């Protein structure tokens, strides 16, 4: 994708006439959830999406909202009931939630009954087995979701920047058959992130979080292109690179990686490490739980029969030096099990160190936004993206099918 041309070419809501039209809007309101209570912990993405929804509703559109929450098998893979309530609150529009429904007669009926300015939210689209399967845009247009919903609408709006790296049915399928536009979240993200596409060096990535499959892919791209000078690892990513460097990280930590089926990533991490070992930094110490209390251990003390829950003070000092000297910083994910009380300190201190650096700073991700807010550093960051994997994928020049689909739709209109 010609990233340089993206800002000018991206079709936005300024070009769309939505009055009295039925508009399918793909939003990303995938939110961090409390693993015990199941309550949404952070509504940043919901509030961001509200801007687009309010604008479309005030222009007289009839809105059919599509969104996902979590991934099959994860604790936060759940319905969108809470999201509908929070969206209603954030928009001031009563958003009707159609539980367990994606298409079929009741949905068609509800869509036909919509009046201008009204909105419905369908069920977690990832409950459909066909949704998270990577396919071409034309093949996604043949999925039951698109085949059933597209004929009931006149316009598609993709506001899900945070999922734009996914070639999924609800992200790219509608753009093949409906005039499609970027929502305001998507537009803002693309504009701001484009500024960071040619990073000033030294460029430091600080990467943690659970989605190591994405992070490894991002590293393969960005390291091979020379975009990044130092990678500060945390969480599972750090564990994998420690393993790759020959360290025995202890049974519970290996189990965490194998439970997520990430052991297969170790070979790819080995290739990355063999080519770029000098750029990849791993923690010098960790915080672990010993008899219910946080305890700092040095990396040399491994293996121990405990989970590595946070990075320790030596790591904070070590990583902070790179952050202070950086000209560009990209941050994604927590550096450990941030949500567990007593194990958030390393993450918070490193976020503060990154935020205090004079570098151009982009932070991204659902949990990342929560941490930024908790660390109280939002105002010091140039761009806090609603996307985690999406933000880093965009910056490392990986394909962004959700954006490419919008550009395709615009080209199609221009040819007609």
Let me know: does 234 contact 283? Beta carbons within 8 Å. Answer: yes
Binding track, positions 17-56, relative to ligand 3PG; x by CB under 6 A: -----------x-x--------------------------
What is d(CA 131, CA 126) in angstroms, rounded to the nearest whole number? 6
Q: Three-state DSSP class for 64?
A: strand
> Within 10 Å of residue 36's Cβ, how many Cβ atoms?
7
162 binds ligand 3PG (CB under 6 A): yes
What is d(CA 415, CA 412) in angstroms, rounded to the nearest whole number? 5
**Residue ranges in 328-387 that form contacts with ligand 3PG under rule CB under 6 A:** 366
Binding track, positions 59-98, relative to ligand 3PG; x by CB under 6 A: ------------x---------------------------
Q: How far is the CB of 194 from ligand 3PG (least distance, A)?
A: 19
Q: How far is the CB of 166 from ligand 3PG (least distance, A)?
A: 5
Q: How far is the CB of 289 from ligand 3PG (least distance, A)?
A: 27
Query: Which DSSP letter does residue 173 get?
Result: I
Q: How far is the CB of 157 from ligand 3PG (least distance, A)?
A: 17
Q: Nearer Cβ to ligand 3PG, position 168 or 410? A: 168
Q: Which of 62, 188, 211, 361 binds ligand 3PG (CB under 6 A)?
A: 211
217 binds ligand 3PG (CB under 6 A): no
Question: Going edge to edge, which strands form the sheet with 383-385?
Answer: 280-281, 230-233, 203-207, 328-332, 360-364, 383-385
Give DSSP secondary structure letters for 240-265.
HHHHHTT----HHHHHHHHHTT-TTH
Let me know: does 362 contact 306? Beta carbons within 8 Å. Answer: no
Choose the binding region for ligand 3PG from 160-168, 195-203, 233-241, 280-288 (rule: CB under 6 A). 160-168
Q: How far is the CB of 162 from ligand 3PG (least distance, A)?
A: 4
166 binds ligand 3PG (CB under 6 A): yes
What is d(CA 80, CA 137) in angstroms, rounded to the nearest whole number? 26
Q: How far is the CB of 143 from ligand 3PG (least distance, A)?
A: 17
Residue in the shown chain whose Cβ atom is closest to ligand 3PG: 30
Q: Which of 163, 190, 362, 384 binds ligand 3PG (CB under 6 A)?
A: 163
> Within 10 Å of residue 2's Cβ, how many Cβ atoms?
7
Residue tagged 């009926």 (tokens): 109
- Which tokens sit at 347? 């993450």
Please give the residue ranges that form the binding site for ligand 3PG (CB under 6 A).
28, 30, 71, 162-163, 166, 211, 366, 388-389
């Amino acid at each position: 994708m010609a990233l340089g041309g993206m800002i000018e070419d991206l079709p936005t809501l300024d070009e769309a006439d939505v009055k009295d039209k039925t508009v399918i809007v793909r939003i990303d309101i995938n939110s961090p959830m409390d693993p015990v209570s199941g309550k949404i912990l952070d509504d940043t993405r919901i509030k961001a999406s509200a801007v687009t929804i309010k604008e479309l509703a005030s222009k007289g559109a009839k809105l059919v909202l599509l969104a996902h929450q979590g991934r099959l098998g994860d604790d936060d893979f759940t319905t969108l009931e809470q999201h509908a309530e929070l969206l209603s609150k954030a928009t001031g529009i009563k958003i009707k939630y159609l539980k367990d429904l994606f298409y079929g007669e009741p949905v068609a009926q509800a869509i036909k009954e919509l009046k201008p300015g009204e909105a419905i939210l369908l069920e977690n689209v990832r409950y459909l087995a066909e949704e998270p399967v990577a396919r071409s845009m034309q093949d996604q247009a043949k999925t039951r979701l698109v085949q059933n919903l597209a004929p009931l609408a006149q316009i598609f709006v993709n506001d899900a920047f945070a999922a734009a790296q996914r070639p999924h049915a609800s992200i790219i399928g509608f753009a093949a058959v409906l005039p499609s536009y970027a929502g305001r979240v998507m537009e803002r993200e693309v504009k701001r992130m484009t500024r960071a596409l040619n990073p000033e060096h030294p460029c430091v990535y600080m990467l943690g979080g659970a989605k190591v499959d994405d992070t490894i892919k991002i590293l393969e791209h960005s390291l091979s292109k020379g975009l990044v000078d130092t990678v500060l690892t945390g969480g599972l990513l750090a564990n994998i690179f420690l393993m790759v460097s020959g360290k025995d990280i202890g049974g519970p930590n290996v189990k965490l990686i194998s439970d997520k089926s990430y052991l297969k990533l170790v070979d790819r991490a080995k290739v990355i490490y063999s080519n770029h070992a000098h750029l990849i930094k791993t923690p010098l110490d960790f915080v672990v739980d010993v008899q219910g209390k946080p305890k700092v251990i040095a990396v040399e003390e491994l293996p121990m029969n405990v989970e590595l829950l946070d990075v320790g003070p030596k790591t904070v000092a070590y990583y902070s030096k790179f952050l202070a000297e950086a000209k560009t910083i990209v941050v994604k994910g927590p550096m450990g099990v941030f949500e567990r009380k007593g194990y958030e300190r390393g993450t918070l201190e490193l976020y503060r160190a990154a935020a205090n650096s004079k570098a151009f700073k982009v932070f991204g991700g659902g949990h990342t936004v929560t941490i930024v807010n908790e660390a109280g550093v939002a105002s010091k960051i140039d761009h806090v993206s609603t996307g985690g994997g999406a933000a880093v994928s965009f910056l490392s020049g990986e394909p962004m099918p959700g954006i490419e689909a919008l550009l395709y739709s615009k080209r199609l209109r221009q040819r007609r």
